[in-house]
Chain A
């Protein structure tokens, strides 16, 4: 064994091989001495061939039929084709949120953030639900078919094929104490200005009444539209008769003889969704537990989840900025440390909004529970929402601490420039001074800022009617300089220092001795 240790792996392998060969030889020798007769040998060979043939047949039969492969995969539930659907208890949620729309809309082709009723659902794999504090959100307990769609990496609910409401009450606990036991209520979404950013959640009788009123007005609109079309037909006939008379007689009719066309009825501008039943949840910030209590008092299986109710961590002022040269692409800037960098003389238009900063992860998970990877790694980031616009304020421009400009909120109009070239100009909307603007409406309202002077530094801030600075509204603005090659030249400073030091040390090396030495 001592020698084996010294020989290494190859030596050991060789030894093992020799050992096997020796053993085999010994066995063979043994068999040779006891060897079978010729008949016995023939019988053994025949048996061996028969067994080999049988094994080959079995092997061939075990090879799977390629045409059955896809079925086999499906049978095993592998998600290369149809995903596996599973009936699950889910919470569906709808909350008024500042989010990107899930589908593209004509009114929002670039999918920009906007206020909307955003919905999501929490499948079984989601153990925490997120809701905003002190705002009513709609939560429902349902059973549906859930499957994971790997291409978009999200869970999908097969609402259309299977959707069953889970009866019971929603129990909310905090620190083991029940803080609410909710019944389902009637709710509806109502948009007083039409589908867009001004939605309202209505509950209870108000929801029903608003919807009924809306429906009545829609019905009345349809009725008046029918009446309009009938009246229009009658008017058309009347006008045809009058025109025929004029052609026959050659006599024009007096204006008062010509009937006015019927007025087309205006459709209701508002919009109301059909009321439904769900739980309306409105809680202060904190960590809760939710579960559905069935009619018999038991907890509905798989209904217990953690509920994280969060509130804004910061407040501030968000700037929606439209540079004059690309006014159709406004940008939102929330961070107080944001600075506007300008090249030369630039004009831009600012629309300020009150803004709130939330934890990025919590806010985005609120409407994306069905997307497991959404917002991962963002727990330390801030998500800003644009709230109400700041209207009754003035924008101050400061330089070296002194106010050099004060700007009011003004309407502006974007006018196409005349001629063949494409272009536009933004002008103050003042029909009294510009007759071309008669009958038009302003394109947008904003605060106009013009800054100039290469290398200049400014500050922008909003003050209210009393002259107080609105917190969070301070921003920096700088006009950049063109550094040219100096930007690269400064990088040589460490090299210059190094060359000086290196040269000094090198000169020491080259110093000659003052007295010859007598050493080895």
Chain B
């Protein structure tokens, strides 16, 4: 099969998808809620600290709300990714595409490219929002902000490929939503439980074993969870560690590639029909 044909199919299909996303209200509502959600704690902590204490020292005051905005928006897009294939299948539009010069690889590729494009739109709005916040408050940016912008594209690819894999595994939209939310809640819950148990001071032998188990699980989960890739990337930028930055990019590419390959495989098993 011609690579040019695949690239063409990916380009055309992803263009349609991004138009559909931009013509809907979902992404705009999400961005509004996300920015509002990051502005409130920003005002309540960073800004209030300065106004209360008279003086406060930050390295990157805008980075933290920006980081949380990006990760929340990415999770929304991850949810969209988990619905992408199952929605097409439920609505019947999946089959129509495959009447034409579209194969599984170009279909999955188009879904992936669409999500990255949607994330670029998210980043554009984020940059505008936080530039305005900076102007309104006189809080500054550092170079870290822009490094994280670059890195976040690779990190988003992890979230996108994770969602697409879930969508390829589940046939119906409801199953996709449940799977995505269930997994995200589990990951968040696990991290909370891990932090809580690690922070306990009164230790029993049973708790020592529990800690060991959780620690070992965390090592594995940190390489499976797309959210953990965001955390590692942010830490690399905050620490200005070029090695970790490069590792973040490479590991994101490998993770995305593996999951997209798995998506193609599972999609072929599930088939195109409703």
Min CB gap A330→B, angstroms: 11
Report the bound CA distance from A457 to B135 in whole Å. 12
Contact present for A337 and B60 (CB under 8 Å)? yes
Contact present for B43 and A339 (CB under 8 Å)? no
Chain B 166-183 near chain A by CB (<8 Å), digits 1 or 0: 000000000000000000
Report the bound CA distance from A152 to B59 in whole Å. 32
Min CB gap A324→B, angstroms: 9
Contact present for B241 and A494 (CB under 8 Å)? no
Report the bound CA distance from A346 to B29 in whole Å. 40
Report the bound CA distance from A341 to B29 in whole Å. 32
Contact present for A487 and B24 (CB under 8 Å)? no
The secondary-structure label for the interface of chain B is: helix
A492-B32, A494-B32 in contact; A480/B57 too (CB < 8 A)?
no
A151: B residues at CB distance < 8 A: 201-203
Which stretch of A60-68, A87-95, A259-267, A498-506 is in the interface? A498-506
Within 8 A of B (CB), among A478-498: 478-483, 486-488, 490-495, 497-498
Cβ-based interface call for B64 (8 A): no
A342-B55, A498-B29, A501-B22 in contact; A483/B36 too (CB < 8 A)?
no
Cβ-based interface call for A177 (8 A): no
Q: How many residues of B contact A (CB 8 A)?
A: 53
A228: B residues at CB distance < 8 A: none
B125: A residues at CB distance < 8 A: 493-494
A483-B136, A497-B28, A498-B28 in contact; A338/B59 too (CB < 8 A)?
yes
Cβ-based interface call for B23 (8 A): yes
Min CB gap B199→A, angstroms: 11
Min CB gap A157→B, angstroms: 20
Contact present for A78 and B205 (CB under 8 Å)? yes
Contact present for B137 and A79 (CB under 8 Å)? no
Contact present for A491 and B59 (CB under 8 Å)? no
Contact present for A487 and B43 (CB under 8 Å)? yes
Report the bound CA distance from A26 to B226 in whole Å. 61
Cβ-based interface call for B54 (8 A): yes
B25: A residues at CB distance < 8 A: 498-499, 502
Q: What is the chain B residue whose CB lies nearest that of A360?
A: B239
A502: B residues at CB distance < 8 A: 23-25, 28
Q: What is the chain B residue whose CB lies nearest that of A479?
A: B138
Cβ-based interface call for B204 (8 A): yes
A344: B residues at CB distance < 8 A: 54
Which stretch of B74-82, B109-117, B126-134 is in the interface? B126-134
Cβ-based interface call for B99 (8 A): no
Q: How many residues of A contact B (CB 8 A)?
A: 53
Cβ-based interface call for A340 (8 A): yes
B31: A residues at CB distance < 8 A: 494-495
Report the bound CA distance from A456 to B35 in whole Å. 26
The listed residue (A333, A381, A490) touching B239 by CB distance below 8 A is A381
Cβ-based interface call for B144 (8 A): yes
Contact present for A494 and B28 (CB under 8 Å)? yes
The secondary-structure label for the interface of chain A is: mixed
Contact present for A346 and B55 (CB under 8 Å)? yes
Report the bound CA distance from A494 to B204 in whole Å. 51
Report the bound CA distance from A483 to B137 in whole Å. 6
Contact present for B201 and A498 (CB under 8 Å)? no
B240: A residues at CB distance < 8 A: 382
A486: B residues at CB distance < 8 A: 136
A455-B138, A488-B36, A488-B39 in contact; A380/B57 too (CB < 8 A)?
no
Report the bound CA distance from A160 to B43 in whole Å. 54
Cβ-based interface call for B224 (8 A): no
A150-B203, A478-B140, A480-B139 in contact; A494/B59 too (CB < 8 A)?
no
Contact present for A333 and B57 (CB under 8 Å)? yes
Min CB gap A504→B, angstroms: 8
Min CB gap A415→B, angstroms: 20
Contact present for B128 and A491 (CB under 8 Å)? no
Cβ-based interface call for B228 (8 A): no
Chain B 231-250 near chain A by CB (<8 Å), digits 1 or 0: 00001100111011000000
Min CB gap A514→B, angstroms: 24
Contact present for A481 and B136 (CB under 8 Å)? yes
A486-B136, A487-B137, A495-B28 in contact; A342/B203 too (CB < 8 A)?
no
Contact present for A380 and B50 (CB under 8 Å)? no
The listed residue (B55, B129, B244) touching A490 by CB distance below 8 A is B129
B205: A residues at CB distance < 8 A: 78-80
Contact present for A341 and B57 (CB under 8 Å)? yes
Report the bound CA distance from A150 to B148 in whole Å. 39
Report the bound CA distance from A343 to B51 in whole Å. 5
Within 8 A of B (CB), among A342-358: 342-344, 346, 348
A78-B205, A325-B54, A380-B239 in contact; A495/B133 too (CB < 8 A)?
no
A335: B residues at CB distance < 8 A: 59
Within 8 A of A (CB), among B149-208: 201-205, 208
Cβ-based interface call for A331 (8 A): yes
A343: B residues at CB distance < 8 A: 50-51, 53-55
The listed residue (A78, A321, A456, A493) touching B129 by CB distance below 8 A is A493
Contact present for B47 and A480 (CB under 8 Å)? yes
B137: A residues at CB distance < 8 A: 480-481, 483, 487
Within 8 A of B (CB), among A433-490: 454-457, 476, 478-483, 486-488, 490
Min CB gap B143→A, angstroms: 8
Chain B 44-65 near chain A by CB (<8 Å), digits 1 or 0: 0001001101111111110000
Contact present for B39 and A321 (CB under 8 Å)? no
A-B contact pairs, 8 of them (CB 8 A): A323-B55, A337-B143, A338-B59, A339-B58, A380-B235, A380-B239, A479-B138, A487-B42
Q: Measuring CB to CB, which residues of chain A are less than 8 angstroms from any residue of chain B?
A: 78-80, 150-153, 321, 323, 325-326, 331, 333, 335, 337-344, 346, 348, 380-382, 454-457, 476, 478-483, 486-488, 490-495, 497-499, 501-502, 505
The 5 A-B pairs of least Cβ separation, nearest first, read A498-B28, A491-B35, A494-B31, A483-B136, A495-B32
Q: A380-B241, A455-B138, A490-B133 are in contact. List 18 more A-B contacts (CB 8 A).
A: A78-B205, A150-B208, A151-B203, A153-B203, A321-B57, A337-B59, A337-B60, A339-B58, A340-B56, A341-B138, A382-B240, A480-B50, A482-B51, A483-B133, A490-B129, A493-B129, A497-B28, A498-B25
